[in-house]
Amino acid sequence: MIKVSKFLAMSAIVASALTMIVGCQSKSGPKKITIGFSQVGAESEWRTANTVSIKQAATDFGINLQFSDAMNRQENQIKAIRSFIAQKVDVIAFSPTTTSGWETVLQEAQRAKIPVILLDRGVDVKDESLYVTLMGSDFKVEGERAGNWLVEYMNSKGRGNETINVVELQGTVGSDPAIQRKAGFDEVIKKYPNYKVIRSQTGDFTRALGKEVMEAFLKAEGKNIHVLFAHNDDMAIGAIQAIEEYGLKPGQDIIIVSIDGVKGAFEAMIAGKLNCTVECSPLLGPQLMQAAIDLKNGKTLPRRVLTEEGVFPAEVAAKEFPNRKY
């Protein structure tokens, strides 16, 4: 009996030693890095381009990507993050639906010693050590850019001293881009007392709701509306339809500025229906993959990685269109 158990114990040791050797020196080279990524959903052209960028970059960088679509629900994101922790992925990354409500699950990731990268959107947590970096745009600056473009445009049309009634289509309630874009735009506009935001409501970053809410704005205010500021291009595109159906000319009767710079916005500008888009690049995949590799190699990442972006008024749309990558 003793001999048998000794033999069993010995073979167990040999077997585990073998698996260790095979595991370390497998023919496919070093072990692949696994990233668990929780995406917001598929609410906009921006989001779709962002998902494509992440999936493509994972393939290009040889990274194993566990991709999970939260369908715009925070509870789905929390579930996905918990399952990434259970799977012991190397890195967790996500674009948070909203800024609040992340403390508990991020503490769980920290306890499991899995680094967390925030991609695109930020969170509101007291303990900043709960994530290693935030990579994406400065949404407040985007809102300011939209406001500044509008003021300059109105001045250039000789309308700088008129009363300018603005309606605003906000992004998803409580999301980082909706909060910051509103704040940036408001900060600029409040310097000019003739500008007034007369209606402001969420269109949840979608075309369908952008159209629906714009219809309600038109019903309530009609020709009183001079300007539409939409927190993303998709809502502006939905609103353009509503304006046309109402019998007004988008881009003329109502000046429209939005954010993202997706192809659909360039098409609308070329058609004369949108006046300006402020760029927000969704092409964040390669930098996410590089960051995961850097983390694995023990490098410290900068706390904030900002995307460089521009402003595209309708006058340059046709020339810029062929250069657009999303």
List of residues contacting ligand GYE (CB under 6 A):
43-44, 46-47, 120-121, 177, 205, 232, 234, 259-260, 280
Q: Which lies closer to ligand GYE via its Cβ, residue 121 or residue 211?
A: 121
Q: Write down the least CB distance from residue 47 to ligand GYE, Å.
A: 5
* Residues near 170 by beta carbon (within 8 Å), at least 6 away in sequence: 178, 182, 200, 201, 202, 203, 231
Q: Are 121 and 284 in contact (CB under 8 A)?
A: no
In angstroms, give the least distance from the CB of 180 to ligand GYE: 10
Helices of type H across 34-127: 45-61, 74-87, 103-111
Give whichever of 47 and 273 is closer to ligand GYE, judged by the CB atom: 47
* Residue 222 backbone phi and psi in degrees, to 5: 55, -130
Find the shortest distance in angstroms from Cβ 43 to ligand GYE: 5
Choose between 43 and 168: whose C-beta lies nearer to ligand GYE: 43
Tokens 């603005």, residue located: 166
Kindly state the smallest distance separating residue 208's Cβ from ligand GYE, in Å. Answer: 13
Inter-residue contact 256 to 231 (CB < 8 Å): no
Pick the closer one to ligand GYE by CB: 98 or 165.
Answer: 98
Q: Say if CB 213 and CB 203 are below 8 A apart.
A: yes
Which pairing describes strands 311-313 and 276-279: parallel, antiparallel, or unpaired? antiparallel
User: Which residues partner with 35 through β-bridges?
Assistant: 65, 91
Q: Are 205 and 172 contacting, i.e. CB atoms less than 8 angstroms apart?
A: yes
Q: Which is nearer to ligand GYE, 168 or 234 (CB)?
A: 234
Nearer to ligand GYE, 232 or 287 (CB): 232
CB of 209 to ligand GYE, least distance (A): 12
Kindly report the backbone phi and psi dihedral angles of residue 229, in degrees, each rounded to the nearest multiple of 5, phi listed first. -110, 115
Q: How many CB atoms lie within 10 A of CB 130?
A: 17
Shortest distance in whole angstroms from residue 234 CB to ligand GYE: 6
Cα–Cα distance, 275 to 246 (Å, whole number): 19
* Smallest separation (angstroms) from ligand GYE to the CB of 301: 20
Identify the DSSP state of 254: B
Nearer to ligand GYE, 100 or 107 (CB): 100
